[in-house]
Structure 1
């Protein structure tokens, strides 16, 4: 059970914080309700004597909304909160006293600094992966982080990261190790379309992480929630996307064959 709890913590994030009044005094007994596209239904929490609340084991993603209510105070809504893998999003919610039923919506940037851990990591969300110009696979993504150097063996798809050997990285898919037990290379190249977030733990790794001398590659896949969604991918190429930078005359003069392009094989497909 302990191992399962550690694995769940590394695949999810959390939102926690404190509810205070305008003078900074903690407010116990507040009803805090969390909703978002990654949740099924909503979650509720009643603040402690110190005004604290916490929602653990949340799926990573954007668009979480926090609603804080207490009789005699204005209802406050905090929108567009972001949950990242293995990180705690910590916020402070301030309530104002009122004699009327009022509602306040707070528009502010989601906290990006985790004040509960010293771990150093690099995280890519699914939106970021879809927007960057690189090969859409795990090998291309891992070679983009600081300190990563490809070994040049595409069939093995290994890299040296932060000075470690090609066997120094631990790869995890939803908490399950995916290293080959014989060579310790990654056993599969997981389709990036299923990634919700990928985290590279590069320093101050937690004690529950073993078998890694340099980096832990933590892949979290997409899951269901309140919002119905799907994904469609397509690949296209054509003559308009192909251009030879060396003319046919120049290639003939130096005695080389023209490079093959995808359209040369279209009749065979």
Structure 2
């Protein structure tokens, strides 16, 4: 019975970290310390999604550590409060699919009303995973042409910008006007690249065209993550590459979009 209880405790302790490995989720973890570098237990950690305003409140454990539950992708602000110390605020933390971001907080002596604010705009180095990936977020989709055949926008069009991509079967213009194209990543076969949407497999990246149900609606895509080598075990059954699409989670503001396709036949 004691063995079973111990295993259950270990399972729940690791659940947040394991869930963060989902391609459509991420997590933030770290340690809170004082000026002498001693860990600070009992500190309040608040993690807020800047797009939706959703906030997650945590408390550091006896080792001064905290780990968030799985979080939707986006930009976050982390605030740490503890009586006797200045409030630490770190903003601009960008979470990409499957990433576990470490954010340690060395607190300064002072009052809670005093604030130390830091912007985390520098690139985050992933030290927890060895896979070779390339992320394309919705900023790329807003600013680059993604029109394929029949004047339909396809999320897959930006595969052609990825390192290691080899076009196989373009019809029409070889960049963005073909009605159909095949995909090879890192020298793999055209039917060896698999698609995932929010962690669910839905077919191979071959013969892309707007009539295929394997083309996700571009307005639903928040991020496209292309994994070309050193996959984790969950991707072990493909030999070419993996394409992970993550859906948008929405924001706290009403918004929409429109586009126009213009081709001047006088040129």
Please indicate, yes or no, whether the TM-score normalized by the shorter chain is above 0.5.
yes
Residue 132 of structure 2 corresponds to which residue in structure 1?
Answer: 120
Q: Unaligned stretches of 5+ in structure 1?
A: 245-269
The change in CA–CA distance for 1:17 and 1:100 in structure 2 (over 3 A counts) is: closer
Cα distance in 2 for residues equivalent to 1:99 and 1:14? 29
Equivalent of 2:32 in 6, 13, 19: 19
Determine if contact 1:16/1:90 at 8 Å carries over to the other structure: yes
Determine if contact 2:87/2:112 at 8 Å carries over to the other structure: no
Range with bigger deviation, 115-124 or 101-110:
101-110
CA RMSD, 1 decimal: 2.7
1:63-74 map, 5 Å: 64-74=76-86
Runs of 4+ deviating beyond 6 Å: 5-8, 183-186
Residue 240 of structure 2 corresponds to which residue in structure 1?
Answer: 214
- Partner SS for 2:69: strand
The change in CA–CA distance for 1:111 and 1:25 in structure 2 (over 3 A counts) is: farther
Equivalent of 1:97 in 76, 85, 109: 109
The change in CA–CA distance for 1:47 and 1:7 in structure 2 (over 3 A counts) is: closer
The alpha carbon displacement at 1:198 in A equals 0.8
1:163-174 map, 5 Å: 163-174=187-198
Residue 146 of structure 1 corresponds to which residue in structure 2?
Answer: 163
The alpha carbon displacement at 1:213 in A equals 0.7
The alpha carbon displacement at 1:153 in A equals 4.3
The change in CA–CA distance for 1:189 and 1:99 in structure 2 (over 3 A counts) is: closer
1:33-72 map, 5 Å: 33-39=46-52, 41-62=54-75, 64-72=76-84
| CA shift digits 1:53-89 (9 cap, x unpaired) | 1113111112x11110001001111111111111112
Matched, 1:162 2:186: yes
The change in CA–CA distance for 1:43 and 1:91 in structure 2 (over 3 A counts) is: same
